[in-house]
Amino acid sequence: MTPAGSLLEATALHKTYGSTPALDGADFSLHAGEVVAVMGPSGSGKSTLLHCLAGIIRPDTGTVRYGAHDLTALSDTGRSALRRADFGFVFQFGQLIPELTCVENVALPLRLNGVRRKEAEARSREWLERLEVDGVAAKRPGEVSGGQGQRVAVARALASRPRVVFADEPTGALDSLNGERVMTLLTEAARGSSAAVVLVTHEARVAAYSDREIVVRDGVAREMAASA
């Protein structure tokens, strides 16, 4: 059973690539509406942890529970359906589809979940406005700045009203000013919609937006002690 109040729980995760251990008994918990930063140096296993928590990859051993679901026991199809319905994603380089306009990119997860085009695009425009980029709705990703594109990616992650948003180095490709704005908008919008956030970063200024910080080192996750 997932502990009371815990939305997402991982226990004793191990994952090895070839002879290299990426996770070596990592534990993790996330509560509804909480922002948790996962920190660590390059190669520490933090992105592997995020991918296991999101059901993108399976750990070699250990369990990941999301509510009543055991992600490690679900089929690929089951995990994909769960990601579409309950999870949102923001990646370092946005990963917007270049052939689609920005509003079409935001609407895509909604369309994949069966929402009609008119409603999907109306909801997407509302999110673009909330993220302060409604002016780029008709533009394609190649026609907007990096900061604007990342706000579009945040809008896409939140438009389907996910319960958990996974953000992997969401400011890594941005300058400090744009990074600060993206983090402010991401965390404010997520908290406003009661979504929890798993935030992978190696930057202390980005982790400062979280409620708790987890440090991953040598494949093991430990909670950072709160400052006095």
pTM: 0.91
Indicate the number of domains in the chain. Answer: 1
Q: Please, which residues bridge with residue 223 across strands?
A: 214
Q: What is the pLDDT of residue 5?
A: 61
Q: How, if at all, do strands 35-39 and 196-200 pair?
A: parallel
In a domain, 144, yes or no: yes
Contact (Cβ atoms closer than 8 angstroms) between residue 127 and residue 106 = yes
- Using the Cα atoms of residue 207, residue 221, residue 8 and residue 76 in order, give the sign of their dihedral: positive
Choose among 149, 195, 138, 139: nearest CA to 171.
149
pLDDT value at 181 more than 70: yes
Average pLDDT of every residue of the chain: 92
Q: Please, which contacts does 140-144 make with residues 24 or more away whose CB atoms are closer than 8 Å? A: 140/98, 140/99, 140/100, 140/101, 140/102, 141/94, 141/96, 141/97, 141/98, 141/100, 141/102, 141/105, 142/98, 144/102
Residue with token string 């002016």: 135
In a domain, 173, yes or no: yes
In a domain, 228, yes or no: no
In a domain, 69, yes or no: yes
Mean pLDDT of 36-65: 94
Q: What is the pLDDT of residue 220?
A: 93
The CATH number of residue 102's host domain is: 3.40.50.300
The pair of structure tokens assigned to 83 is 């990601």
The pair of structure tokens assigned to 178 is 């744009």
Q: How confident is the model at residue 226 (pLDDT cuts 50, 70, 90)?
A: low
In a domain, 196, yes or no: yes
Residue with token string 């534990």: 27
pLDDT value at 56 more than 60: yes
In a domain, 62, yes or no: yes
In a domain, 46, yes or no: yes
* Torsion angle of C-alpha atoms 102, 106, 107, 108, degrees rounded to 10: 100
In a domain, 1, yes or no: no
Q: What is the pLDDT of residue 92?
A: 83
The pair of structure tokens assigned to 180 is 């600060």
Strands (DSSP E) along the chain, which ranges?
A: 6-17, 20-31, 35-39, 61-66, 69-70, 87-90, 164-168, 196-200, 212-217, 220-223
For 45: left if phi > 0, alpha if psi spans -120 to 50, otherwise beta; the answer is left
| Dist CA 195 CA 160 (whole Å) | 11
Mean pLDDT of 14-31: 95
The pair of structure tokens assigned to 120 is 């999907």
Q: What is the pLDDT of residue 42?
A: 84
Domain that holds residue 218: 6-223
